[in-house]
Amino acid sequence: MEQQYRLRKNGQFRYVYKKGKGVACREMAVGYVRAPKLLVGFAVSKKVGNAVTRNRIKRRLREAFRAELPSLKRGLYVITAREAAAFADFARLSSSMRYLLRKQGLYKEEKQ
């Protein structure tokens, strides 16, 4: 995923956590706030595993989100991985992400 779409600052993450709407499933949670630009950040707690495991989860989540990028509404997204994400394969993470994005109504009209 291109770096122009990344949320980097701690303040941006806190803004989404405080003002955003969220949905969750077993593997992850998605927070969203409307904004003029599409930016996404990924968070994985130290409870999930060691650094290798956390980085693998973030890589998989980034790739799953990249596939959905053209059909999503603009805004700030924060995807937070849960402990079950460490044991899920890529297909499961990808389908869970699509489910959460659809549940929250974040696809552009043509996808719904």
Tell the burial category of 85 from Cβ atoms under 10 Å away from its Cβ (0-12, 13-18, 19+).
Answer: buried
Mean pLDDT of 93-106: 95
pLDDT at 44 over 50: yes
- Confidence at residue 108, expressed as pLDDT on a 0 to 100 scale: 87
pLDDT at 89 over 80: yes
Mean pLDDT of 14-28: 95
Mean pLDDT of 15-36: 95
- Confidence at residue 110, expressed as pLDDT on a 0 to 100 scale: 57
- How many other C-beta atoms are found inside a 10 Å radius of the C-beta of residue 33? 18
Domains of the chain with bracketed CATH: 3-103 (3.30.230.10)
- Confidence at residue 111, expressed as pLDDT on a 0 to 100 scale: 45
Mean of the per-residue pLDDT values of the chain: 93
Rounded to whole angstroms, the Cα distance separating 54 from 98 reads 21
pLDDT at 51 over 90: yes
- Confidence at residue 77, expressed as pLDDT on a 0 to 100 scale: 96
